Every structure is written in C-alpha cells, then in structure tokens.
Amino acid sequence: MKNNIAIALLLLAAYVVVPLTLGANNYIMSMIVAAIIIGGVALSWALLGNLGGMVSFGHSAFFGIGAYVSAIVTAKLGVPVLLGVLLGGVGAVLASVVMLPVLRLRGPYFALAILAYAHIFRILATEWTSVTGGAGGVAGIPGFPVLFGFDFGNKLGAYLIALTLVVLCAFTYQRIRGSYYGIALRAMHDSEDATRVVGVNSTLLKAAMLMVSAFIAGMFGAVNSHYINFIEPDYAFSALWVTLPIVAAIFGGYRTILGPVIGALVIYLADQLIFKSYLPTGHQLVLGVLLVAMIVLRPSGLMSLLNLKKKSKGAAHA
C-alpha cells in the first residue's frame, strides 16, 4: 500500500509538478529529456542483466538501429512519427535476432560479442549510403506531432513522451519480473542446469529477454532521433549509449526497476548542471569518483540508501 502511494506521488510530481515549475525553461527541460532517454536505455540494460542474466556492452546497437529505422521510415516513407518509434523498437528486435547465436556464450564473452555487433551495425550505417545517408547521416527527421491540440514537438512535449515511455517500460518490466517467466529466470541465475531439468527452456527465455531489452532500447533511440531531428553513425552507435546507461544503472541500483532511471537523472543532471560548470574539461572525472565510491560503499546503489532510510524510520516508530 505504501509503495503504491509513493509511486502515485512520484508520478504526480513527474507529470504535474515538473511541467508546471520547469516547463518554461527549455535548457533545463532539454537536460531532463536527455537524462530520461539515458534512463530508458539503462532500464533496458538492467532488465537484460537481472532477468536474462546477461551483461551487455553493445546496447548502442539497439539504440542506433532504433534511431535509424524510425528516422528513415518517417523522413523518407512518410510514416507517422509515433508509429515510427514503435517500428524503431521492432527494428532493434530484428537486430537482436541476428545476435541469437551468441546466447551460448557467457559472461565477458557474451558482452564482447554484443559489442562487436554494435561495431558491425555502425559500419553498415556508414557504408549503406543509399539508405542511411552514410557518414552524413539523416537530416530533417520529423519532430513529434501535435495531438489533441498540444504540440509535442517542443521540449515539454518530448519530456512527456519520453516519461510516458519510461513508465510503460517500467510497468512491463515489473509485470515480467512478477510472472512465472520472471520466477523461472531468477531461478535460472542460481542454476541454469537445474532449471533445464524441471523443463524450463533457458535459451528461449534468454532470447525473449534479449528481444524485450532490444525493443526498449530501440524505442528510446527512435525518440532521441525525433527529439534532435538528426542522426549519424558515430553518434547513433556511440559508446556513450553503453557507458552512460551502465553507470546510471549501477549508481541508481540496477537490481531495482526505478534505480536505473533515478540514477540517470542524478548522474546526468549533476554532471551537466553542476560538475560541468566548475570543471568544463574534466567534469566526467567526478562521475568516475562518485561511481567508484558508490560501488565501494553501497554496491546495491542509490535506491538501497532510500530503502535503508525507510527501514530506519520504521524501526524508530516501532
């Protein structure tokens, strides 16, 4: 009950308080939108790790594919933008199908294999000039439309779209984790061989989690392309779409659902609005120090500190 109230208050703040207080500040809103997009990719990365038991260094592949698919179908084929975002997710799923053979690999071997795929897709985007525009990228990508009299093409509109997408993906993550398949996946982490004995097809479940994770990352790649209205290979498949989400997920608590998103908001906004103003050329060093400190002092992340405070308050009232 308390968790439901907390979530309701959090959603109220996100959908009402933030637009009313910060909606007119385009600079702050642009930072928040970027942080939410990073948080969405971090959520997809954490889902794959928690439920699929796989660590990925190549989520930039899904992000970039989603960005390119949505950009191309909307800018060149005239597909509506919101449908294009969904098709971006579908494109990322198709890319993940190509990666299925590496599911037999485990640990760092799987992570490096996925990273190799990301480089392959970046090269394809660069060389397939007739479709992707090559190194020049795709310009003139349509922005978000006007719906029900509200212009979603501005910063506030992009914020609401990205926020809604995060909420829907987090809800999906929660439903999967609480389902029979989620229980089977968590049991598989302890002993994959034992779960196979009782009839759980671990390979099929891992493949499904890879596809779900890819779909989420692909949609956020698509959202980003329509938000900035331009995409090119080095940006779409940049290592930043791997490192920043991983840092955000670990800092916030990658074993929780809200942790990766909260981590992205804290890390990115603190970096851009505070650290960068004092250290224009070395501000990312501060992020490294914070991440190391969090891993050493609180490996389970920022969300565990919040839970610890709740427990201490409950003990005080007991």
pLDDT tens for the chain, residues 1 to 318: 667 788 888 999 999 999 999 989 999 999 999 999 999 999 999 999 888 788 888 899 999 999 999 999 999 999 999 999 999 999 999 999 999 998 888 778 888 899 999 999 999 999 999 999 999 999 999 999 988 888 899 999 999 999 999 999 999 999 998 888 888 777 776 666 555 655 667 778 889 999 999 999 999 999 999 999 999 999 999 988 998 999 999 999 888 899 999 999 999 998 888 888 887 777 778 777 888 888 887 777 887 766 655 544 444 444
* Beta bridge partners of residue 150, listed in sequence order: 147
What is the predicted pLDDT for the residue at 286? 79
Interstrand relation of 150-151 and 146-147 (parallel, antiparallel or unpaired): antiparallel
Give the orientation angle of helix 240-252 with respect to helix 26-51, to 10 degrees.
Answer: 80
User: Given this model, what pLDDT does residue 192 score?
Assistant: 60
**How far are the Cα atoms of 152, 258, 297 from residue 17, in angstroms, in the given order?**
18, 19, 33
d(CA 187, CA 210): 17
**Residue ranges per domain, the chain?**
2-238
The model's pTM is 0.91
- Strand, helix or coil for residue 77: coil
Angle separating helix axes 302-317 and 259-270, nearest 10 degrees: 110
Tell me which residue has tokens 């790649």: 221
State both tokens at 100. Answer: 């299925």
E runs forming strands in the chain: 138-139, 146-147, 150-151, 230-231
